[in-house]
């Protein structure tokens, strides 16, 4: 099978590849050390985008967190590609990851030309808009990937910036410390201003304001992947978490992307909305 066929069979809406050396400007010394610990002679990074939009359903969880945990899904699907490549290149190593490696995934996707660089910091892949998860395969093999120019920027219409309640999207790009999605996941004490943001926020996990405002998301294509389109958890209420120990919470929701922080932030966010 060709790489095109392998990625299509894995459910990717688009894929590309970039020589590892082109990612060096985006890697800190610590990140580079982690990459080389995984793969001592990194040569190629393959990037794939997996669509997750399941419709504009009501709920208090971000759309990305309603299906199965994307970390698990994307790595599982990428592993089907890695298994095939390991047979062809038995002397080489292949490391799949999704939002859990030192690689700069979005930069790899942009450099491989598979989508637009959104002002929100997200990849835009028509017809799926920004509703895609990215995954990478790091390898020592010098694979032949399609040569594409780096992705262009989106038109910078300003819709995402205007929609962000916390002003996290400035001229210099996204500011994670002001992002409401990050704030909903933060543990520990919050400032009064941060609590005020969460009281007014319609979601208890994540934030979709910038994505809903993006013109490329006006009519996104639905995901064909069952992990992201069936058995969805749209909302959580206090009764869903009542009496759950951390272990019981993991047993009930451990296959969801909102579960990695445990029940604490979710309970706090629900309580703030009731105040």
Residues with a known catalytic role: 99
Q: Could you give phi then psi for residue 261, rounded to 5 degrees?
A: -90, -5
First and final C-alpha spacing in the chain: 57
What is the rounded distance in angstroms from the CA atom of residue 94 to the CA atom of residue 24? 19
Q: Could you give phi then psi for residue 206, rounded to 5 degrees?
A: 80, -175
For 114, 166, 256, 259, 265, the CA distances from 188, given in Å and listed in that order, are 38, 19, 22, 16, 8
Angle 204-209-214 (CA atoms, 0-180°, nearest 5)? 150
Note whether 151 and 114 are within 8 A (CB): yes
């Amino acid at each position: 099978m060709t790489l095109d066929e392998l990625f299509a069979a894995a459910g990717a809406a688009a894929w590309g590849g970039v020589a590892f050396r082109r990612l060096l400007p985006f890697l800190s010394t610590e990140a580079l050390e982690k990459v080389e610990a995984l793969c001592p002679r990194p040569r190629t990074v393959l990037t794939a985008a997996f669509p997750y939009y399941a419709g504009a359903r009501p709920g208090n969880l971000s759309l990305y967190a309603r299906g199965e945990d994307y970390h698990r899904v994307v790595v599982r699907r990428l592993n089907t590609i890695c298994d095939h490549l390991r047979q062809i290149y038995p002397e080489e190593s292949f490391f799949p990851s999704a939002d859990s490696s030192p690689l700069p995934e979005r930069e790899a996707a942009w450099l491989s030309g598979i989508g637009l660089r959104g002002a929100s910091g997200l990849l835009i892949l028509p017809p799926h808009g920004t509703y895609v998860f990215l995954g990478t395969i790091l390898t020592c093999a010098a694979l032949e990937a399609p040569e594409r120019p780096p992705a262009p920027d989106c038109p910078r219409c300003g819709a995402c910036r205007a929609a962000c309640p916390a002003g996290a999207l400035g001229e210099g790009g996204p500011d994670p410390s002001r992002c409401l999605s990050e704030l909903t996941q933060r543990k520990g004490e919050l400032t009064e201003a941060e609590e005020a943001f969460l009281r007014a926020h319609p979601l208890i996990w994540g934030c979709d304001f910038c994505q809903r405002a993006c013109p490329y998301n006006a009519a996104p294509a639905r995901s064909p992947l069952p992990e992201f389109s069936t058995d969805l958890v749209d909302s959580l209420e206090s009764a869903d978490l009542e009496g759950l120990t951390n272990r019981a919470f993991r047993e009930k929701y451990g296959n969801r992307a909102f579960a990695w922080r445990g029940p604490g932030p979710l309970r706090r966010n629900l309580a703030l909305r009731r105040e």
